Amino acid sequence: MTRATQHKWFAITAVPGLSAKPIIDILVEVSDLNETKRQIVPVLESRGYEYFWRPTIGNSPPYYAWFIKRDSIGIRTHHIHMVEADSELWDRLYFRDYLRTFPEEALRYKDLKETLSRDHPEDRTAYTVGKTNYVVAITELAKRYFTNK
């Protein structure tokens, strides 16, 4: 049994009824990513966080600061995403809010996640890629819904 299957349990998420990995995800606005690198990275690294300069989508800019905290056996417990105010990562909140507003859509997403989890139990990348088209489509729908009210 691998470490991933040993710890396959699900936590409460920001959307009622959805299953998720037991990782606390935090999105933080910073005024300047270069200053974040200079001032915040050393502080969080000294507290055991791993730091990554990560592309928002694919392998190209814009980038953001991503921190991972792990427990004593190496399982991820926290993700901190630090972005500037104009980052497209803020769109993730539209997605979250849309699923909260429309529980039937949250159930569709839940079904998709469960299917992908069964189909790719040890392949995080395939699981994520499998959700991408759905997440992008619902995020666009959510942006229109919430900004045209």
Give, rounded to a whole angstrom, the gap between the first and last alpha carbons of the chain: 50
Rounded CA separation 36/143 (Å): 28
Question: What pLDDT, in 10s, does the model give residues 94-144?
Answer: 999 999 999 999 999 999 999 999 999 999 899 989 999 999 999 999 999
- Tokens 């619902």 map to which residue? 138
Q: What is the number of structural domains in the chain?
A: 1
Question: What pLDDT, in 10s, does the model give residues 70-103?
Answer: 999 999 999 999 999 998 889 989 999 999 999 9
| 100 vs 17, more confident | 100
Give one DSSP letter per residue of 42-71, joined into a string.
HHHHHTT-EEEEEEEETTEEEEEEEEEEE-
CATH of the domain at 124: 3.30.460.10
Contact present, 149 and 97 (Cβ < 8 Å): no
Q: What is the DSSP letter of 82?
A: E
Domain hosting residue 104, numbered range: 3-147
Rounded CA separation 87/133 (Å): 20
Question: What pLDDT, in 10s, does the model give residues 37-46?
Answer: 999 999 999 9
CB atoms within 10 A of CB 94: 19
